[in-house]
Structure 1
Amino acid sequence: MPSTADEEEPEPVFERDGQSVEALLVRVGAGDKSAFTGVYEALARPVMGLACRILHDAAQAEEVTQDVMVEVWRTADRFRPERGSAKGWVLTLAHRRAVDRVRHVQASAQRERRVGAMISGREHDEVAETVEDDDERRRTQECLARLARMYRIPLLLAYYRGLTYLEVAETLSAPAGTVKSRMRTGLRLLRDCLEART
């Protein structure tokens, strides 16, 4: 199939001492500490990039990167090269960790607002907040339903099942560049729809 302008060039295979990062990760899973250096050098930067895009905060992204690399060290024995690339596996861990951090930050901010409202003597209106949340959820679902299937399905896989765009591409048997482009377009259409309904 001819490549499109949106498709990305395949990334070069990272090697250290003639071994791919997949082989190094398998060695880490078997307890080889020296192999972890190669894994870290190959994957810490992409993890940091993904975390920055999700968190929009370099300091938190750095913390997430360190947490993810520690998790890679601890759980490397779970990696199965036959199921996908080392980078895909590690970026899935990073995506989940970064999304968890976003949720944690949002929950903390909501708790602080509630405490602040109670301290200032204002009554906290939980019913109004629940109605607002339900209304936002309903509007989001309506706007998602209005998207063409080619835009809706990748967004559902990424944001409700937590897949990276590479995993979405694999799931849909579509080129990664095409999926990335459709997700960008889908997000723009979704944002436009939500703004029109506020």
Structure 2
Amino acid sequence: MTTTGALSPRPLNGTVVELLQRCGSGDSSALMRLYDIVSPLVYRLSLMVLGEESKAQASTGRTFAIVWESAPRYDLATDGTALPWLLSIAHRQARSELG
């Protein structure tokens, strides 16, 4: 049985790679699209770490600011798969806000 409209991880990661590359070139519309696609995952991760909706929302926003700043340096060969790379930034950001 398949779920209509669901993206499998492989195409999603390819989309994230493409959008990160565009962000690295200064394409702000790519950042907005990346946010639309990935922010629900980032928010849920942040909420699990922080346990408070308002803090998770703020952490999600800061995560995407970091992603925007880091995108020009993102390299698939050295940084690894795009989605885990982005989620590791989100996790580190949320953990930094615990203390």
TM-score interval for Structure 1 and Structure 2 normalised by the shorter chain? 0.7 to 0.9
Equivalent pair of 1:48/1:62 in contact (CA under 8 Å) = yes
Following superposition, which runs of at least 4 residues in structure 1 exceed 6 angstroms of deviation? none
1:25 to 20, 23, 44: 20
1:34 to 23, 29, 36: 29
The residue aligned with 1:74 is: 69
Query: Would you say 1:52 and 2:52 are equivalent positions?
Result: no
Partner of 1:31, secondary structure, is coil
The C-alpha deviation readout for 1:77-122, integer Å capped at 9, x for no partner, is 121122322211111111111111112xxxxxxxxxxxxxxxxxxx
- What is the deviation of 1:12? 5.1
TM-score scaled to structure 1, two decimals?
0.43
Query: What is the root-mean-square deviation of aligned Cα atoms in Å?
Result: 1.8
Percent pairwise identity? 30
Equivalent pair of 1:21/1:38 in contact (CA under 8 Å) = no
Counterpart amino acid of residue 101 in structure 1: E
The C-alpha deviation readout for 1:61-91, integer Å capped at 9, x for no partner, is 0000000011111221121122322211111
The residue aligned with 1:124 is: none
Structure 2: which 5+ runs fail to align?
A: 1-7
The C-alpha deviation readout for 1:137-159, integer Å capped at 9, x for no partner, is xxxxxxxxxxxxxxxxxxxxxxx
CA distance in 2 between partners of 1:12 and 1:53 (Å)? 24
CA distance in 1 between partners of 2:52 and 2:71 (Å)? 27
The residue aligned with 2:3 is: none
Counterpart amino acid of residue 54 in structure 1: V
Aligned residues: 91
The residue aligned with 2:98 is: 102
CA distance in 2 between partners of 1:61 and 1:12 (Å)? 26
The C-alpha deviation readout for 1:29-64, integer Å capped at 9, x for no partner, is 011122112211121111101001111111100000
CA distance in 2 between partners of 1:23 and 1:52 (Å)? 27
Query: Would you say 1:11 and 2:9 are equivalent positions?
Result: yes
Structure 1: which 5+ runs fail to align?
A: 1-9, 104-198
CA distance in 1 between partners of 2:96 and 2:28 (Å)? 28
